[in-house]
Structure 1
Amino acid sequence: AEEGARVAGVDLKEPDPGGLACAIAADVTDEADMARAAAVATEELGGLDGLVAMAGIQASAPTHELDLATFRTVLDVSAVGTFLAMKSVLPGMLARGGGRIVTFGSTASVCAAPGLSAYAAAKGAVLQLTRSVAVEYATRGIRANCVCPGGVETPMLAAIDAARTGPDHFKEGHPIGRYADPAEIAAVVSFLLSDESSFVLGAAVMADGGFSVG
């Protein structure tokens, strides 16, 4: 929005409308809800040129102690939610002759970590889904890429850190020595939505302060 784009925000609870052309309450795991959200956004904006799919939740537990309902919920929000977001906007993008899709994976999309089996499965699925969509629609003017952040200074990560009882190996695993500011991740997304990234397709963009190579 700061660069002149008209943006529709979608969240389970109606987003703060500040800076948005429209704010829509919808459940990313509900196909009808996401179809409605896409229709409202298309009507309000006059068409959709880009999608940023970033819904996700985390659950940390040893795999043998992780209950099935939690495992399914994590996959539903991240993987199924990303699929439904894509499915809801692709027809309009095809009709307009193209579009850009940016999904949110994680370092967990490519790096294993103990206690994160549900989250890693979900984020790995998001990355492979994005790659599949990228090659499927490459000749139709649609580019899809996956941003894979490391730690980002967000309330969710702050809560995880506050509950930590042992050493903070996650933060220590970033060679840059810190977590990302949300604006740094937003800049990567902005690049992938722009014409400047016209030859970037199906990429896992590791915006992780070196975590995945450390």
Structure 2
Amino acid sequence: MRGLQDRGIVVTGAAGGIGAAVVERLVTEGAKVVAVDLVAPELDGVVAARAVDVTDEDSVAAAFAEVGELMGGIDGLVAAAGIQASGPTHELELDTFRKVLDVSVIGTFLCVKHAVPAMLERGDGRIVTFGSTAAVCAAPELTSYASAKGAVLQLTRSVAVEYAARGIRANCLCPGGTMTPMMRAIDERRTGPDHFRERHPIGRYAEPAEIASAAAFLLSDDSSFVVGAALMVDGGYSCA
């Protein structure tokens, strides 16, 4: 894709199935990638890997300052870090609800906050946050996750309209079910029908590489007029 060669891009949640696939795709496209997770991920082709707690501003600020110097600036951010919890709303522990929001919403906010100044200096930047079908479609027992992803989508839209005229494009990528290692393990243990998979009109889950392709598109020059979008990469789930 156009415009990714030698771009300095930070990817959070890089140890996860989707995050690692994003890193791999960007490295293939010739980008300079710093991979970030709670434990520094071991991935090929990256400029550096760093252990960062995205819910801790000191940790984020220090890492992004170092990354900016290491890469000569920050051209792009993929904020893929997030966690999920499920269960009946009336049984959900407050600490669990708060933790899900902390990682997805506070983590995304802090990474955007500390990436934007470097982008403003260059007059150019691309931000990809991670929502979900849960950001736009209701589902039972996903109160904390849906709340977090809905907030990430609105955060992204706000950032998009605030900085678009200053050369920064922000968009929210919303995947459907994706065959990550965690999903594969669940699939292997399943004894009955997979009703979540059945709700995807395409008839299957995404592979992480398919989600990574959409992230690469949003970071590239090929998406130059895409601003503040909720890009549904969900096999038709959200419109079924």
Mapped to 2, the partners of 1:167 and 1:4 lie a distance apart of 41
After superposition, residues 42-57 of structure 1 pair within 5 angstroms as 42-57=68-83
SS in 1 for 2:234: coil
Highest RCO, 1 vs 2 (Cα 8 Å, sep ≥ 6) = 2
SS in 1 for 2:32: coil
Q: CA deviation at 1:44?
A: 1.3
Give TM-score scaled by structure 1 length. 0.96
Gaps of 5+ in 1: none
Indicate yes or no: 2:133 matched with 1:78. no
Percent identity over paired residues: 68
- 1:135 corresponds in structure 2 to 161
1:211–1:63 Cα change, 3 Å: same
Indicate yes or no: 2:237 matched with 1:211. yes
- 1:9 corresponds in structure 2 to 35
SS in 2 for 1:202: coil
Pairwise CA RMSD of aligned residues? Answer: 1.3
SS in 2 for 1:177: coil
Mapped to 2, the partners of 1:205 and 1:120 lie a distance apart of 16
Mapped to 2, the partners of 1:64 and 1:31 lie a distance apart of 31
Indicate yes or no: 2:210 matched with 1:180. no
Mapped to 1, the partners of 2:189 and 2:164 lie a distance apart of 43
Deviations 1:112-164 (A, max 9, x none): 00000000000000000000000000111000000000011112323454676
More displaced 10-residue stretch of structure 1: 163-172 or 95-104: 163-172
- Given residue 124 of structure 2, which amino acid in structure 1 is its aligned partner? G
Indicate yes or no: 2:199 matched with 1:199. no
Indicate yes or no: 2:180 matched with 1:154. yes
Gaps of 5+ in 2: 1-26
Q: CA deviation at 1:17?
A: 3.8
Give TM-score scaled by structure 2 length. 0.86
- 1:29 corresponds in structure 2 to 55
- 1:122 corresponds in structure 2 to 148
Mapped to 2, the partners of 1:77 and 1:93 lie a distance apart of 23
- 2:131 corresponds in structure 1 to 105
